[in-house]
Amino acid sequence: MDAFYAAVEQKRRPELKDKPVVIGGSGDPTKRGVVSTANYEARKYGIHSAMPLKTAYTLCPHAVFLPVDMEEYGRLSRLFKAVLQRFSPVMEDVGIDEAFLDLSDSNRSPEQIGQEIKKEIMAATGLTCSIGIAPNKLLAKIASDMQKPDGLTIITERDLEERIWPLPVRKLWGVGPKTGEHLKEMSVHTIGELAAVPLETLVRHFGMSYGHYLSKASRGIDDTPLVTHWEPKSISRETTFQTDTDHWQTIAKNLADLTRETVEEVRERGYRCRNITVKIRFDDFKTHTRATTLEEPVDTLEAIRKAAFHCLGNFDLKKKKVRLVGVRLGTLTKK
DNA sequence: TCTGGGGTCCTCTTTCTC
DNA sequence: TCTGGAGAAAGAGGACCC
């Protein structure tokens, strides 16, 4: 979906049409938080996802800043995914605003089916999307990104050298800022240049698993199937304080609240957990975790809170102020 | 100066058991 | 009793995704 959160807000508030709109955090750009979505008008000012709201505000003070309304975005998400599933039952969720659809069994042309999906999503939600159609997920994802917004891009194996290889390596799924920099130091800037690097070199630099992945991905090879169902591996909650704190009671109170919320969710979803991890981010942005694994899976607040506070006790909270506290429940088993 | 929240997966190191 | 290897599990950190 194109600039999904912002598009949803603009749809229900027509007065926002043609204005720069930034969705993120509490909607107050003087408070701590980052941009979840900036619409295309706001992007003209250099605003983009993951940017601190305060930075976005200095770049464009007259933009409309709004809080995240996950309930409403979830509702629209279910609507467009229901449309997709009418075209094929084999759908893989990729977060709230993306999905893969297996159209292998369709006998219509990709252009035809792509246009019809766009039309139906527009009818159901009033929103535009960008579609990529390709022989596998990796290439479809790249294709979906090639003509945004409101795009439809079709890629075949034959397009690899001309349309994929000239793209920067960062366009590959799984290549983030760190790997991008690492590759730049190796004088590898494009996907084509990556494809020319011997496998042994990639394995030496990036390890067995990721080295092989990069080698295949650069040649457009991806044989991973669509994942239509999965179980959660962990459930977590975390909060960043408005101001860094060294007040133990504040940290403890927040950890207790987060633990209660997380336990409630784990129970509601019918799981027990065996691993409890507490996360602390200090004022210098260094993040540390302390974990404990229990003998038996549990789902009681007492047992999990006790474990969480045991983990908290393994931090030295005297030297630096704390910016964030979080708790994660892992090694889940279904009840 | 600024850097959210909810996840997954991978790597390296430590710890424990045989 | 000491030493060492193999393998599993746990713990910590980091990269990446939306």
- CATH code of residue A293: 3.30.1490.100
**What letter represents residue A76's amino acid?**
L
Q: Is the CB of A14 under 7 A from strand C?
A: no
- A254 and A178 in a single domain? The answer is no
- A98 catalytic residue (yes or no): yes
Does any domain span residue A261? yes
Domain boundary (A68, A85, A108) is at A68
* A330 in the same domain as A295: yes
CA-to-C1' span, A263 to B1 (A) = 36
- Mark A98-115 as b/e (b = at least 16 C-beta within 10 Å): bbbbbbeeeeeebeebbe
Task: Give A184 CA → B1 C1' in Å.
Answer: 27
> Considering the domain boundaries, does residue A77 fall inside one?
no
**Residue A301: beta bridge partners?**
none
User: What does the DSSP assignment read for A128-141?
Assistant: ---EEE-SSHHHHH
Could you tell me the CATH number of the domain that includes residue A48? 3.40.1170.60
Q: Do A248 and A306 fall within a single domain?
A: yes
Q: Where are the alpha helices (DSSP H) in chain A?
A: 4-12, 40-43, 53-59, 70-87, 110-125, 137-144, 177-185, 191-195, 199-206, 208-218, 248-268, 301-312
Range of the domain at A297: 234-334
Domain membership flag for residue A170: yes
Per-residue model confidence (pLDDT) at position A129 = 97
In this predicted structure, the answer to whether residue A49 has a pLDDT above a threshold of 90 is: yes
pLDDT tens-digit readout, A17-27: 999 999 999 99
Do both A163 and A210 map to the same domain?
A: yes
So what's the pLDDT on residue A106?
93
Cβ distance A224 to A94 under 8 Å?
no
Nucleotide minimizing C1' to CA distance for residue A96:
C18
Q: How far is the CA of A328 from the C1' of B12 (A)?
A: 22
| pLDDT of the residue at A186 | 93
Q: What is the pTM of this model?
A: 0.94
Strand C at less than 7 A from CB of A291: yes
A310 and A245 belong to one structural domain: yes
Q: Which of A30, A51, A68 is the last residue of a domain?
A: A68
Are A36 and A54 in contact by the 8 Å Cβ rule? The answer is: no
pLDDT, mean of residues A137-150: 96
Point out the catalytic residue in the list A92, A98, A238, A265.
Answer: A98
Residue A335 has pLDDT above 90, yes or no: no
Each residue's pLDDT tens digit, A172-207: 999 999 999 999 999 999 999 999 999 999 999 998
* A246 in any annotated domain: yes
Residues A62 and A14 occupy one common structural domain: yes
Q: Strand B positions with any atom < 7 Å from protein CB?
A: 2-12
Q: Please tell me the total count of domains within chain A.
A: 3
Which H or E run contains A198?
Answer: none
Specify the nucleotide whose C1' lies closest to residue A141 (CA): C17
Tell me the mean pLDDT in the region A154-165.
Answer: 96
Q: What integer is the mean pLDDT of A241-263?
A: 96
Cα distances (angstroms) measured from residue A41 to each of A80, A151, A255, A295, A306: 24, 18, 39, 54, 49
- Per-residue pLDDT, averaged over A296-308, amounts to 95
% helix, strand, coil for chain A, step of 5? 40, 20, 35
- Flag whether A153 is in a domain: no
Segment A75-123, tens digit of pLDDT: 999 999 999 999 999 999 998 999 999 999 999 999 999 999 999 999 9
Q: Is residue A130 part of a domain?
A: no
Distance (Å) of CA A252 to CA A203, A235, A317: 44, 20, 11
Q: What is the mean pLDDT of residues A308-332?
A: 94
**Residue A19 counted as domain residue:** yes
Give the model's pLDDT for residue A208. Answer: 85
Phi/psi at A273 (5° precision)? -125, 155
- Whether residues A261 and A312 share a domain: the answer is yes
Spell out which residues of A between 33 and 62 contact strand C, using CB within 7 Å.
50
With beta carbons less than 8 A apart as the criterion, state whether A203 and A212 touch: yes
Co-location of A330 and A254 in the same domain: yes
A254 and A207 part of one domain: no
Q: Is position A75 within any domain?
A: no
Between CA A139 and CA A135 the distance in angstroms is 7
Same domain, A301 and A248: yes
- Name the average pLDDT for chain A: 95
Task: Round to whole Å and give the CA distance between A170 and A191.
Answer: 8
Q: Are residues A238 and A316 in the same domain?
A: yes
